[in-house]
Amino acid sequence: MHDTGLSARAAGASSSSSSSPYAGSSPSSAATNPGDDDDESKTRKAHPAFVAAAYARLHSSHRAAVSLLLLIAVAATAFLAGRAHPRADCLPPRIDARFLALQDAAAASDFGSLGVPWCRSKTGKIVEWTSKDLLNGLEEFVPIYETRPIKNNMNGMGFDHSFGLWFMARWLKPDLMIESGAFKGHSTWVLRQAMPNTRIISITPRHPEKYLRKGPAYVDGNCTYLSGREGFIDFGSVDWEKLLRKHGISDPSRVLVFFDDHQSELKRLKQALKAGFRHLIFEDNYDTGTGDHYSLRQICDQSHIRGGGHSCFWDSDEARLRSKRKKFWEKAVEIDELCGKDDAWWGIRGYKRDNFNRSNEAISHKEHFQNSRLLESVLDLYWELPPVAGPSLTHQTRYDPARASDPIIEDGRYGLFQRIGLARLDTSVFNGYTQMVYVQISGTVLS
């Protein structure tokens, strides 16, 4: 495994969130585009036959001559103007109000400064890969993604996270891959595409083969499944030393662990650290006020961290901006949703959620602060996956781009979006973005 540090991101940006009943990022309803049906081809043009008929109705020869010249000029202009328009099928996608709102760069950056935290690592290390590597990876991944066995992975990963997981697994080249939370097996398939010969351990209560009875699912031939009534054991209860030894792995720091199990990320981080794992990916790094488990992004949302901390005043700039953005983005959070009793804004209204929100424990601001200190003390690297493309290209409607890193393909670059093959994909696959995060950790924590 490469010892990574990279990043295509300057300190500051961040993202959004989502909570779905028991999945995390769930591609759902396809984006609709109010302006889609009024294309340029409907521009009216004067027709030559109409010009001739108008001429025949004129009596005075002088008036007729002048009028004829005028009409010919109008008709010619209209005809040429019509030709100058691109053909309707070559038009770039229509941009609706939400995307025009993005042009309000000041609003986006103000919003960012009001609360887009980026976890601080103790080493300041960044990832090795660049935005060019991500772009090249995208080009390679699109045709792979098109061969996925589970076309509709509702309640599982969409395109963005599939790409992120594939890209990172392939870059890191681990000796073993562990996933916690497999559902029908899409993420197992993604890991397999990244590393064709590397062993996978998949921990998930229901074996993916059970889903095969009802439709597409993926069961991997080189995977140890800890699942089913007999086999399932929670990540935190596995005897990792024994299991790794059984798989011929002597160095846990060369293992990649992927969590999509909707458990408190603080809990998972401590368990992973205890087992000696160093490279972790969390699929659903929820933003403050959203999601069904306490996330790293939430933990790092602290007043002392740049972009972190919130104000619960209903007439603050933040409240106004949140209210504005809520009109455009489904998962945006208004100030009254963000804040709970006694103006508790951290986690989810002052609560630390766990296990798909089956557990919901109130925490004090002090405890929330201590959690961030603990996280910082073991964090060597923190990197959030950017959205693959801007929302005017993907037509995603859920996640506020002001809460995410800059997209790999920025709005307006339709030619690139199309050339890479992303325009071929159904827009619904882009609707599941949350800020998937890759972290490197080291050290020890008590408890």
Ligand X SMILES: C[S@@+](CC[C@H](N)C(=O)[O-])C[C@H]1O[C@@H](n2cnc3c(N)ncnc32)[C@H](O)[C@@H]1O
Within the chain, how many helices (H) and strands (E) appear?
16, 9
Using the rule CB under 6 A, give the single segment among 51-59, 182-190, 238-246, 310-318 that binds ligand X. 182-190
Give 314-336 as a DSSP string: TTSHHHHHHHHHHTT-TT---HH
Tell me which residue of 208, 155, 198 sits closest to 178, measured CA to CA.
198
Tell me which residue of 10, 23, 15 sits closest to 300, measured CA to CA.
15
Sole binder of ligand X in the list 205, 276, 309, 421 (CB under 6 A): 205
- Cα–Cα–Cα angle for 64, 70, 76, rounded to 5 degrees: 130
**Cβ distance 43 to 85 under 8 Å?**
yes
Residues 6+ apart with CB under 8 A from 13: 112, 116, 118, 384, 386, 404, 405, 406
Residue 76's alpha-carbon distances to 51, 70, 82, 168, 213, in angstroms, are: 10, 10, 10, 57, 65
Regarding 182 and contact with ligand X (CB under 6 A), the answer is: yes
CB of 266 to ligand X, least distance (A): 15
Nearer of residues 153 and 397 to ligand X, judged by Cβ: 153
Nearer of residues 128 and 234 to ligand X, judged by Cβ: 234
Nearer of residues 227 and 392 to ligand X, judged by Cβ: 227
Nearer of residues 24 and 112 to ligand X, judged by Cβ: 24
Regarding 428 and contact with ligand X (CB under 6 A), the answer is: no
Residues 6+ apart with CB under 8 A from 96: 33, 34, 35
Regarding 186 and contact with ligand X (CB under 6 A), the answer is: yes
Nearer of residues 147 and 444 to ligand X, judged by Cβ: 147
Regarding 181 and contact with ligand X (CB under 6 A), the answer is: yes
**Interface with ligand X: number of residues (CB under 6 A):** 23
Taking CB positions, which residue lies at the least distance from ligand X?
156
Cα–Cα distance, 260 to 161 (Å, whole number): 11
Sole binder of ligand X in the list 27, 156, 350, 401 (CB under 6 A): 156
Sole binder of ligand X in the list 13, 23, 134, 378 (CB under 6 A): 23
Regarding 203 and contact with ligand X (CB under 6 A), the answer is: yes
Regarding 157 and contact with ligand X (CB under 6 A), the answer is: yes
Query: What does the block give as tokens for 194?
Result: 């990244």
CB of 409 to ligand X, least distance (A): 23
Using the rule CB under 6 A, give the single segment among 198-206, 380-388, 389-397, 413-421 that binds ligand X. 198-206
Tell me which residue of 440, 432, 408 sits closest to 23, measured CA to CA.
432
CB of 215 to ligand X, least distance (A): 13
Nearer of residues 43 and 152 to ligand X, judged by Cβ: 152
Regarding 260 and contact with ligand X (CB under 6 A), the answer is: yes
Regarding 261 and contact with ligand X (CB under 6 A), the answer is: yes
Tokens 């209209």 correspond to 78
Nearer of residues 7 and 25 to ligand X, judged by Cβ: 25
Contacts to ligand X by CB under 6 A:
23-24, 153, 155-157, 180-184, 186-187, 203-206, 234-235, 260-263
